[in-house]
Amino acid sequence: MSRRSLVLLALGFLAGSTSAIAQTSPSREPPKPEEVDDRVVELDAFTVTTEIGTYAETTAATATKTTTPLRDTPMAISVMNQAFIADLRAERLSDVYQYITGLSFNDTSVSSGFSIRGIASTSNPGIRNIQVDGLPGLGSRFGTPSTANIERVEVIKGAAAILYGFMEPGGLVNIITKKPQERRRSEIAVSLRSYATGISKFGSDLGYTVQVDTTGPISADKRFRYRLIAEYEDSESFRMNRWKRNFYLIPSLMYAWSANTSLTASVEYLKEKRAGDEGLVAPLNREDLIAPHHVSYQNKDDWDLDNGLTASANFSHRLQNNWLFNVAARQVWHDDQGLLLRNQAVVNQVPVENTIVQRRGRDQYNERNYAYLDATLQGDVRVGELTHKLLFGATMGWEQNIFDQRSLQTTTIASLNVNIYNPVLGAPFPPPQPGTLRDFTTHTLGFYAQGQVSLTQRLKGVVSIRHDRMETDFAQQRPVRTAESETSATVPGFGLVYQPNNHVALYANYMESFQPIQDAYAREDINGNTGHWKPEWGTQKEAGVKLEYPERGLTVTMAIFEILKDNVIENTGLPNVNGVNYWVVIGAFKSRGGEVEFQFKPKPHIQFLGGYAYVDAAVSSSQNLAEIGAPARNVPRHAVNFWARYNVPDGPMKGLGFGLGAVYQSERFGVTTNNPALQFALSPYTKFDAGVYYKRGPYNLSLNIRNALDKRYLPGGGTGTLSGNVRIAPGEPRQLVLSVRRGF
């Protein structure tokens, strides 16, 4: 069956669903006592709902690994819950990122392609800055995860290494997954997508997603529960000959021996296949010379593939003294492959219309395997009238990264060159040329402790410390090279919260973090030497105010911060004596700024969410004078996000809802240099999103318009080279998403 036929079939399903909503409810016999739960659902089946779920959360577990009120936590935390994710009709985590204050998602080619507070998370250890239920290891490398299994997203702003191990000090994105529920519930969701823009007319490039989510008890006593989530996505891109086919299957089981003891286990299988896409290029580092956003430089049969399998388990037991013992484990088996012609360089010509893109053949196979176990013991200790919460933890981890360049073209082949504006595609893949095979195996062991101490009724403190040890084995073929390294570090953290009343909390913190260079023996300097890179070290100072007025539906967080990274290294994108891009120690990197974030629900049917972030991130010291004061790549100095949701409370339009969102990013730079003549500047942009909703009984219908004004923009500079002028992913144009959800 063709894609168009499937879309038409789905449209018919939507039409049938709409028709069903209009029908009157048939008469029913009085339910039996054992059917009371079902009766509640059916009585609500044709009730028009005007209230909307709240976006504001009062507690989060990620920052302290304990369920702690946000106002008692001396850190800035953003929580994007299921109510907001549903209103946004977010299908990928990247749809949510743009509304997280202080986070910039600028590198769409990888799952960790974001910056928090100006600190990028795109390096190899950057995968640790995005975790699942508090443990590292995504099932996919490219793009961002599907929201099918996301209950909520908790984002720590600033250094999070004390509880989660080595990582970039900007912050941590923690995905909280959906769990089996005690009450039986099922949902089917279908969404249809089409662009509506000059480069992709309405109905030209279609896509659809089908999702099933079912949960409930297995045993009569409801102690044994299940959940099964499945999703299939088939989409065509607005870019020439680009497409993707994704499949996800996520079963999970839970057994609760009692209210104090439970075990949850889940498996996630995913397969993501897409047409290879290296994005656009910028002649002379000028945005205005970039080709139209639908232009592609890859052949029609170029492709990328992700295969992932994850297994997770969590055991929780509350002891007789009310202390809680918890063990969480996560195993990831992942491989990705790519056979495509990559954008290698821009060769500028006069006139500019003759500029070409040099491409090279790349046959790549990668494996990324992770296994982590984290055990914690937490409990309260009462001293006089004050209660202190203590946490002790240990983490063991193993990572293996295998990078197999099965064929990597190192010489330029003129027949692969294409014009940037009118590329003639179809050149055959070049003859195989031996690449490299590298294998990194890392073992980590960490111990940590945290005390949440009540100094007085209104003054609270958090004291934390962690010690980590990491060993890395490195093996390379073509040429043969082996090496071993060992790194250890101890990092402290301190925080204070003062609450003059029940609505206001003043806080401050000091946190440290570290990040060893896991693949130090693969990163060469200008002379071809490797293995001498010292770990990067991070420190953070932060102060802020949190306001909570539940009776007014208002929460506000304001923060100022300064993050300093020492011993930072960066890829120059220039060849060394061995002909490979070499690395340099740029010295230190500083990011400082402020944030304001709020949620406001003045009425049950009106709600607002938004924030503003100011980030001044730049190289503060370097051996290279051209880099001192250079701004961070792809980080806007000013960023604003806003979302509003309104439901008509009464009258003939009762039940109809509307959403409106806006995202603004100021100028970003794609080159780490303080020389304006060499800089690659990206224009500021404002993008609007909108939605129309209608809910009646078990049916939820919506029409979301992404990039409603069809703004042409670039989220960030390219990847793979220092200059950032190749592999630039354009922002998506106007897109219409029609969806219906039916609960059972």
What is the value of pTM for the model shown?
A: 0.89
Structure tokens of 114?
């974001």
The Cα 355–Cα 347 span in angstroms is 6
Element containing residue 453 per DSSP (H, E): strand 437-454
Please check whether residue 596 is in contact with residue 558, taking contact to mean a CB–CB distance below 8 angstroms.
yes
* Residue type at 133 in one-letter notation: D
Helix (H) or strand (E) holding 20, with range, is helix 3-22
pLDDT of 126 reads: 52
Q: What is the distance, to the nearest Å, from the Cα of residue 413 to the centroid of all Cα atoms in its chain?
A: 37
Q: What is the SS3 assignment for 576?
A: coil
Beta pairing, strands 130-132 & 171-177: parallel
> Helix or strand or coil: residue 227?
strand
695: which 2 tokens?
Answer: 């809910």
- CA distances 702 to 150, 451, 690, 695, 706, Å, are 20, 46, 10, 9, 13
DSSP β-bridge partners for residue 280: 728
Q: What is the pLDDT of residue 493?
A: 95
Query: Which residues does 260 contact at the CB level (< 8 Å), separation at least 6?
Result: 317, 318
- Pairing type for strands 459-477 and 437-454 reads antiparallel
Q: What is the pLDDT of residues 45-100, one digit of tens each?
A: 445 556 678 998 889 989 899 989 999 999 999 999 999 999 999 999 999 999 99
Work out the number of other CB atoms within 10 angstroms of the CB of residue 25: 10
Q: Coil, helix or strand for 626?
A: helix
Closest CA to 651 of 46, 22, 48: 48
In three state form, how does the secondary structure of 519-569 look? CHHHCCCCCCCCCCCCCEEEEEEEEEEEEEEHHHCEEEEEEEEEEEEEEEE
Answer for the pair 466, 450: CB distance below 8 angstroms, yes or no. no
User: What residues does 656 pair with on adjacent strands?
Assistant: 694
Please say whether the beta carbons of 516 and 166 come within 8 A: yes
Q: What is the pLDDT of residue 528?
A: 77
**How is the chain split into domains, by residue range?**
47-354+368-743
Fold for domain 47-354+368-743? Maltoporin; Chain A (2.40.170)
For residue 634, give both structure tokens. Answer: 């792809």
Residues 6+ apart with CB under 8 A from 364: 336, 337, 338, 339, 403, 404, 405, 406, 408, 435
DSSP string, 673-727: -S-GGG--EE--EEEEEEEEEEEETTEEEEEEEETTT-----SS--SSSSS--SS
pLDDT at res. 736: 97
The C-alpha atoms of residue 113 and residue 130 are separated, in whole angstroms, by 10
Best CA proximity match to 564, nearest among 602, 523, 510, 517: 510
- CA–CA distance, 358 with 462 (Å, rounded to integer): 54
Whole-number pLDDT of residue 31: 40
CA distance 104 to 583: 25
Pairing of strands 386-408, 437-454: antiparallel
Dihedral in degrees, nearest 10, Cα atoms 9, 13, 16, 21: -160
pLDDT at position 393: 97
- Taking alpha carbons only, the member of 450, 489, 494 closest to residue 469 is 489
- pLDDT for 534: 77
Rounded-to-integer distance, Cα 98 and Cα 262, Å: 36
pLDDT in tens, 536-595: 889 999 999 999 999 889 999 999 999 999 887 777 767 888 777 787 777 788 999 999
CB within 8 Å of 420: residues ≥ 6 apart? 281, 283, 291, 295, 297, 346, 355, 356, 357
Residue 125 burial (CB count, 10 A): 21
Tokens of 130: 């995005």
390: nearest Cα among 458, 465, 328, 446: 465
3-state secondary structure of 204: coil
Assess contact for 65 and 163: CB atoms under 8 A: yes
3-state helix, strand, coil in the chain (%, to 5): 10, 55, 35
Residue ranges for the chain with pLDDT beneath 50? 1, 5-46, 125, 720-722
pLDDT of residue 579: 76
Distance CA(127)–CA(307), nearest Å, equals 17
Token couple for 127: 């995968």
The residues, ordered by sequence, that sit 6+ positions from 414 with a Cβ below 8 Å of its Cβ are none
Kindly state the DSSP code that residue 101 receives in the 8-state scheme.
T
Question: What number of other Cβ atoms are within 10 A of residue 258's Cβ?
Answer: 9
Task: Give 64's DSSP letter.
Answer: T
| Distance (Å, whole) CA 562 – CA 541 | 5
Contact 121, 614 (CB under 8 A): no
Residues 6+ apart with CB under 8 A from 160: 63, 167, 171, 172, 511, 513
Length of the chain: 744
Give the pLDDT score at 720: 46
Q: Residue 690: CA atoms inside 13 Å, Cβ hemisphere, count?
A: 11
